[in-house]
Amino acid sequence: MNILVIGLNHKTASVEIRERLAFNGPKLEEGLLAIRQLKGVNEAALLSTCNRVEIYASVCDVMTAAEAVKDFISGFHDIVRPEFEKSLYVYQSEDATRHVFRVSSSLDSMIIGEPQILGQLKDAFEFALSKKTTGVILNRLMKKAISTAKRVRTETRIAENAVSISFAAVELAKKIFTELAGKSFMLLGAGEMAELAARHLINNGVTDVKVANRTYDRACELAQDFCGCAVRFEDFVHELVRTDILICSTGAPSFILFRDQMQKVMKERKHRPVFLIDISVPRNIDPEINKIDNVYLYNVDDLQEVIETNILERKKEATKAETIINEEVEKFAHWAATLDSVPVIVALRQKADDIKREEIERFRNRFPDLDKDKMEAVENLANSITNKLMHNPTVALRESAEDREMITIIIKKLYGIDGEDEE
């Protein structure tokens, strides 16, 4: 039995190809069930996201199954193989296991450390389980992939350090204020990125929310979404006195907040710290404001520098994660290797049990007058001897990876286990 992974992702295929090969909606179930029926495929699971399409399978012969899967993709999506085949990667055995573990741990993602892929892999596994397309091999592989990802997140800092503008804004706010609960926040403008940052701040404990916009109706609409209050655009400077965090994204062609205005605000605030995030392009907040004590002003470029630094930190943590994955791949490979020994172990145990039953029956016929307790003692003795005799051969078959083939041949020869018995 072998593990096969065939897929493509954002590194190997264009958006157009990924879209054409995606298994969306009813195509997911239809595709998964069809893959399971392909020649040489014993188990199957299917992962389809905006960044990747991957087919996981337990197969008898890798080449046969791989060709069948490629032909299926071509026919199912009505696309000739030369159009997509160069974008595919094909992994088997330990390479396949390593790839799945790297995917679940987000080392193969567009953004290293992002959490979404683990949830998507879990969903793909649960869907395959519900359709009964997986078995012993893929069930173990997927569960191990999930536990490996959790281990990576526990033992490394790969998921820490913001790598998006909105998260970077929240991370900086935490450094300035330590605790965001109870802090006041104003959203100035209604850019998509600014709104996302606002939601992250609210999720991190900010409760006093104000929204100012040139279109007051839009301010009211957003304020309702954020459970806050609307502020007329011309009043936003006055409201800064009662605001700890400001995110500005108005689309104005020039500055709308100047140094002299901010100096007056800080005097009224009694110089309590304030965090200003200007993600407008061009900038809407005068950079001279940053020279005022207890005013912390960041623009898009500043946030981008934070992100780039954090990406480097995640890459360092990814090295640690690779070590964890290598350990888990080795453990899985050891488990998979023992599967080859299972039929021999079963046959060996059956042989021993048959001999034991024959001898007990012979003993019972020889001494028919033995009472129940004494006969039970004889049976217990026979069980104990059998178990002890079977222990070492069984352990050798399970654990002696390098010599397993030779040990298997010897045990089959010694105990008279032929191919039919093993099956």
- pLDDT-derived band at 279 (thresholds 50, 70, 90) equals confident
* pLDDT above 70 for 423: no
Domains assigned to the chain: 2-159 (3.30.460.30), 165-305 (3.40.50.720), 340-422 (no CATH)
- Using left for φ > 0, alpha for ψ between -120 and 50, and beta otherwise, residue 182 falls in left
Q: Tell which wins on pLDDT, 17 or 343.
A: 17
Residues with Cβ within 8 Å of residue 121, at least 6 apart in sequence: 47, 103, 104, 142, 145, 146, 149
* pLDDT above 60 for 392: yes
* pLDDT above 70 for 340: no
Q: What is the mean pLDDT of residues 44-55?
A: 95
Q: Tell which wins on pLDDT, 345 or 104.
A: 104
Residue 400: per-residue pLDDT: 62
Backbone angles phi, psi at 414, to 5 degrees: -65, -40
Cα 321 to Cα 355: distance, rounded to the nearest angstrom: 51
How does pLDDT run across 227-264, given as a tens digit for each residue?
999 999 999 999 999 999 999 988 788 999 999 999 99
* pLDDT above 90 for 70: yes
How does pLDDT run across 91-126, given as a tens digit for each residue?
999 999 999 999 999 999 887 888 889 999 999 999
- pLDDT-derived band at 401 (thresholds 50, 70, 90) equals low
Pair of tokens at residue 394: 């069984």
The overall average pLDDT reported for the chain is 89
Pair of tokens at residue 386: 């059998």
Q: What is the mean pLDDT of residues 134-160?
A: 94
- Residues 197-214 as b/e (b if ≥16 CB within 10 A, e otherwise) read bbebbbeeebeebbbbbb
- pLDDT-derived band at 38 (thresholds 50, 70, 90) equals very high
By annotation, the residues acting in catalysis are: 50
Q: Tell which wins on pLDDT, 310 or 286.
A: 286
